[in-house]
Structure 1
Amino acid sequence: MYGLIGKFTSADGKRDELIGCLLEGLKDMPGCLSYVVASDPADANAIWVTEAWVDAESHKASLGLPPVQEAIRKARPIIAGMESIAETQPVGGHGLSSVG
């Protein structure tokens, strides 16, 4: 499996709008096992995204899907910053099944 943990910073006062954009493109992403968007209780503009995929290729392919491209287009003007915190290798957990 392949995982990512990332942090987005929205433009001031735009966090809820950015969360909406991040959640908008989630349907029908082949290979996505988990995609969690969370607000940061200590920072009014910060958003954490935790992803689990069957493999890195599935994640890369998802970025070209039309709904994901549309979500990116809408989100881009209100993103003040973006950090890739970590690439991970999920091994299991609630809602995930390990892959052989």
Structure 2
Amino acid sequence: MEKFGMYAKFTAKPGRRDELAGILLEAAAAAQHVEECELYIVNISDTEPDVLWVTELWSSFEAHEASLSLEETKTAIQRAMPLIAGVEATKLKPIGGKGF
């Protein structure tokens, strides 16, 4: 089975980045208990004050999709939606590297 990766760019509504970051960091903490989630890193931009990036690595695309049906994931998404002005996601097929 191929691994699945994703970069997600979240643009928060003006002044709401830190609040959105808190929700994403809670999701990262919850992902510690999901074996199929191998990496979930929340990043902020030094040059774009309302932008956050999430870097994800999963054991498979199916594992990522299954995570979206977890009750805690659904709750986090509902809490985050009012804070988000836009989302861009780039799906990736990881092939190797340090930490892979």
Q: Percent identity?
A: 41
- In structure 1, the residue matched to 2:64 is 59
Give the number of aligned pairs.
95
1:14-46 superposed Cα distances (whole Å, 9 cap, x missing partner):
101001111212312341000111001110000
RMSD, matched Cα = 1.2
2:24 is the counterpart of 1:19: no
SS in 1 for 2:14: coil
Q: Residue 38 of structure 2: which of 33, 36, 45 is its match?
A: 33
User: Where is the helix percentage greater, Structure 1 or Structure 2?
Assistant: 2
Distance 1:25 1:5 in 2: 15
Tell me, yes or no, if structure 1 residue 95 matches structure 2 residue 96: no
Cα deviation digits, residues 43-84 of structure 1 (max 9, x gap): 000001110000000000001111111111110100011011
Q: Return the alpha-carbon distance in structure 2 between the equivalents of residues 91 and 33 of structure 1.
A: 14
Deviation at 1:89, TM superposition (A): 1.6
Question: Which consecutive residues of structure 1, in runs of 5 or more, have no partner in the other structure?
Answer: none
Runs of 5+ consecutive residues of structure 2 not aligned to the other structure: none
Q: Distance in 2 between matches of 1:15 and 1:50?
A: 17
- Asked if 1:74 corresponds to 2:76, the answer is no
Mapped to 2, the partners of 1:9 and 1:78 lie a distance apart of 9
What is the TM-score normalised by the length of structure 2?
A: 0.87
| TM-score (normalised: structure 1) | 0.87
